[in-house]
Amino acid sequence: MNFTNTKKIFLLFLFILLINFSFSSVAAEPTVKWRLGGVHGVTTPETIGLNYFAELVEEKTDGEMVVEIYPAGQLGDEVSMIENTIIGAQEMFANVMDWNQHIVKDYGIFAMTFAFSDVTHINRFFETEKYQQMEEEMIDQGVRILAKNWYRLPRAIVTKFPVFTIDDLKGHTFRMPALETYFLAFEQFGVNPVEIPWAEAYSALERGIGDGMDSPIGSIYGMGFYKVAPFITNTRHMMAPFNLLVSERAYQSLSPELREKLTEAAHEAGEYYTNMLAEEFENDKQKMLNEGAVYVEISTKEFAERSKGLAADFEKKGLWSEGLFEYIQNL
């Protein structure tokens, strides 16, 4: 073989290598890149679950789609991220279902204390035509619920003072989200509510802006609330699931295959999140107790009675459709 032929073979080989490298580089770049905003801390079960969701999306789509997670309010507070998702400025937002009332008012029922007794009760409501209409209204407003099977443990209260009865709350300042039902319900429990974003709750307790708050019991350890408010009282007053919202505009821009895989990932991550909470809480509880926290189980009968008295008033205010609370109680 002469030098000219050898040179030609070498150049052909080099050309093939360059082509393969180019194709592999292109394949490595995702076709679709989305942003998902949340308000929970980096180490909380919510953010861990969202990161797992992102891993599943990339795995199921062979890297064609990537979801980037922005926790701890990096993309804004709850209301601004809901608005951004509606207009498509960010593709996804994940938070507790009661925040959907900023889009469809009937979701305010999930922010009603003692509206649901357990997860089975919630699922029974999900299966009704009345609830299905609520999801359709969400889509009409520009946001789709991608998954709602991210079941949380009940909510508890964390305080700087011991709580054994409802009267122990009287006169204390509580951090509250920007939800009217929360404000009015906790006012009936005797507290002075003050609006503070979730991402700023720890700092508010630490600085004395509030001396108590309510929290999903599974988030207390990850958010570190027990360090500045060491009394944990399991009131079990609310059970709203966590849900993943997606901009309907962004969702419709995907191919049917990507929509299916995205939805599969969201539901699988929901199962992972739910199981993780159940498994991890007992370990977290023991860690908090070892660090000086005090955990108390109390009777919630008086809390529940005051809540029932509020439901009719809330409906008169138009916070949700008339008769919805009673409808759910009778399921």
What one-letter code names the amino acid at 309? G
Cα distances (Å, whole numbers) of residue 244 to 3, 37, 265? 64, 10, 11
What average pLDDT does this structure show over 62-67? 98
Is the pLDDT at 10 greater than 50, yes or no? no
- Residue intervals in the chain for CATH 3.40.190.170: 3-151+240-280, 155-238+287-314
How much is the mean pLDDT over the chain?
Answer: 91
DSSP letter assigned to residue 30: -
pLDDT computed for residue 2 by the predictor: 54
Query: Does 17 have pLDDT greater than 80?
Result: no
Domain spanning 155-238+287-314, CATH architecture: 3-Layer(aba) Sandwich (3.40)
Tell me the per-residue pLDDT of 86-137, one tens digit each, with 9 for 90 and over.
Answer: 999 999 999 999 999 999 999 999 989 999 989 999 999 999 999 999 999 9
Is 265 exposed, middle or buried, given 0-12, 13-18 or 19+ CB atoms closer than 10 A?
A: buried
Instruction: Label residue 20 by pLDDT band (50, 70, 90).
Output: low
Residue 317 sits at φ, ψ, to 5 deg, of -75, -10
Q: Tell me the CB-side half-sphere exposure of residue 6, using CA atoms within 13 A.
A: 3
Whole-prediction pTM = 0.83
Q: Is the pLDDT of residue 146 over 50?
A: yes
CB neighbours (10 Å) of residue 83? Answer: 16
pLDDT value, residue 312: 87
Strand order in the sheet with 231-234: 192-195, 173-176, 212-216, 155-159, 231-234, 294-297
**Is residue 163 over pLDDT 80?**
yes
Q: 4 falls in which pLDDT band (50, 70, 90)?
A: low
Residue 51's pLDDT is what? 98
Q: Which whole number is the average pLDDT over 231-249?
A: 96
Q: For position 230, what pLDDT does the model report?
A: 98
178: confidence class by pLDDT, cuts 50, 70, 90: confident
Considering the four listed CATH numbers 3.40.50.360, 3.40.190.170, 3.40.50.2000, 3.40.190.10, the one that applies to the domain covering 3-151+240-280 is 3.40.190.170
Which candidate, 65, 93, 57, places its Cα nearest to that of 78? 93
